[in-house]
A and B are shown apart, each in its own frame.
Chain A
Amino acid sequence: MRAMGLLSVVLIAGPVAAQTKEYLYVGNTLAGTVSVIEIPAHKVVGTIPATVVGNGPDDVISSRNGDVLYISRLDTKDVIAVSTATEKQLWHTEVGGTPNHLALSHDERFLYVPIYDKGELAVIDTKSHAVVKRLNVGKGAHGTILGPSGKYVYVGMMEANQVAVIDVATNSVKKIIHMPEGVRPFQLSPDEKLLYAQLSKLHGFVVLDLTRDSVIKTVAMPTLGKPEPVASERLSHWVVNHGIGLSSDGKYLVANGSLSGFTAIFSAPDLKLLGTIPVGREPNWVVFSRDGKFAYVSNRRDNTISVIDVAARKEATRITAGEFPQRMTVAMAHRPQ
């Protein structure tokens, strides 16, 4: 009788639900895979294979509750949605050009896809999986971020030296802000008044005041006693630095010195240099753990991820990922059992 009672409890409860954990998902562009790294253990616990991803993943972002990864793919000029629970592809949408860094609307209805070679921002309806709008934003559409208010999407142009601000309510271009150079990775302050942007040819980053649409400060990156790194079109298409992250509380800004193999931690918003940390070769991207204790830097030329202990201002560990790791996202997710 007692055994029956226990059996009933088990049957009613059903199978034990998979535990939600925090993971770092790393897109390995040359391998065509996504490495899955558990946080805070900082161990690779899985790889979403090339049979699912493949074709040059450029960016990887996640839905707010971590159930879906959205991945832009360079070779096939499309975006795929992948379930984190099954690590299988849910759907894909061709976007008609080379897709770069993605952003998702606050209600997750729209996925914003900059099309580098078309100068467009494609808007995908995540329900119908169709491109429902194309906006002309400027040549070399590259980085895309949803502002903290959820009202605007910001698109940085590598070739056109400008930022386009998109009104999410109408999915239309609200304004174009001219910049001194091609816009590389950027971040927005929590109050959405400041935009921190790495630019082509600049060993540093600029601060754009979004209330005045003007650059109010240029912050130089340290040279660490070496000659300042010089970019050229032929060798690096003017890249000096690539990868800038802001902790969710807005207190720490981490910026990569990509040609110099280090990352720098600044306080924000005063932008005082707190420290520099040697990382791997050609650091490319920065994301933070949800609690802000760790920053992750992808070192794309030596296939590793540097785990930066932000408070200690040092590299806590270095993890081997797949070939040519670039973009990353942190998500709370259930993984396949």
Chain B
Amino acid sequence: MTSRRNALLTLGLGLLAACESTIARLRGRKLVRVATADSVSVVAAQRTTVADQPIIVVNDGHRLRTFVAVCTHEGCPLGWNSTQRLIRCPCHGSAFDTSGRVVEGPARDPLTELETVTQNGAVWIDERSLTPSPRS
């Protein structure tokens, strides 16, 4: 019983440390809320725009991740195909999985992932980590 309690305590402290570490890294930066944590279902995604930059928040089944939703082939804004559970390009059909990896070309490079923190039921990113949209 004691060992189980200790294990839970260790796990809790570990998660807290990880969260603190992320918050510390993001401290002093301009955090922008991009989604509510419970609005993105498991293996699903939600698209939004921050500072004119398309963003996609993905729940990969383990955690919430945020990517710049711009195709690495031609710079087109990306969509989410809920049937295929893939991030899709509307210009030439490139596809990316929930880790941002290319699963179908013509894109060759993975998506740019943004440092993401989930806190107080919301998903946050640092606005200054974004670069202006290439096609805007």
A interface residue numbers (CB < 8 A to B): 29-30, 54-56, 58, 74-75, 77, 98, 100, 116-117, 234-237, 239, 259, 281-282, 301, 323-324, 326
Complexed CA–CA distance, A106 and B47 (Å): 42
A-B contacts, 9 listed (Cβ < 8 Å):
A55-B81, A56-B81, A74-B89, A75-B84, A116-B106, A234-B75, A234-B134, A324-B77, A324-B90
Output the nearest chain B residue to A159 by Cβ-Cβ distance. Answer: B106
Given contacts A56-B81, A324-B90, contact A239 B136 (CB under 8 A): no
CB <8 Å contact, B88 and A236: no
**Chain B interfacial residues counted at CB < 8 A:** 22
Shortest C-beta distance, A79 to chain B (Å), equals: 13
What is the distance, in angstroms, from B93's C-beta to the closest C-beta of chain A?
4
A236: chain B residues at CB < 8 Å are 74-75, 134-135
Pick the 5 closest A-B CB pairs, nearest first.
A29-B90, A74-B93, A237-B74, A235-B134, A98-B93
Q: Chain A residues with Cβ under 8 A from B100's Cβ?
A: none
Q: Which residues of A contact B91 (CB under 8 A)?
A: 29
> Is chain B's interface secondary structure helix, strand, loop, or mixed overall?
loop
Contact A75 B106 (CB under 8 A): no
What residues of chain A lie closer than 8 Å to B136, measured between beta carbons?
A: 281, 301
B128 interface residue, CB < 8 Å from A?
no
- Asked whether A74 lies within 8 Å of B135 as measured between CB atoms, the reply is no
Q: Which residues of A contact B90 (CB under 8 A)?
A: 29-30, 56, 58, 74, 324, 326
How many inter-chain contacts with C-beta < 8 Å in the A-B complex? 63
- In the complex, which residues 56-113 of chain B have their Cβ closer than 8 Å to any Cβ of chain A? 73-75, 77, 79, 81, 83-84, 86, 88-93, 95, 104-106
Closest-CB distance, B106 to chain A (whole angstroms): 7
Find chain A residues with CB under 8 A from B106 CB. 116-117
Residues of A within 8 A of B79 (CB): 29-30, 56, 323-324
- The residue on B at minimum CB distance from A74 is B93
B74/A56 in contact, CB under 8 A: no
User: Known interface pairs A30-B77, A30-B79, A75-B93. Does A235 touch B135 (Cβ–Cβ under 8 Å)?
Assistant: yes
A241 to chain B, nearest CB (A): 13
Residues in chain A near residue B135, CB distance under 8 A:
235-236, 259, 282, 301
Please name all residues of chain A whose beta carbon is closer than 8 Å to the beta carbon of B84 when the two chains form the complex: 75
Measured between C-beta atoms, what is the minimum distance from A117 to chain B in Å?
6
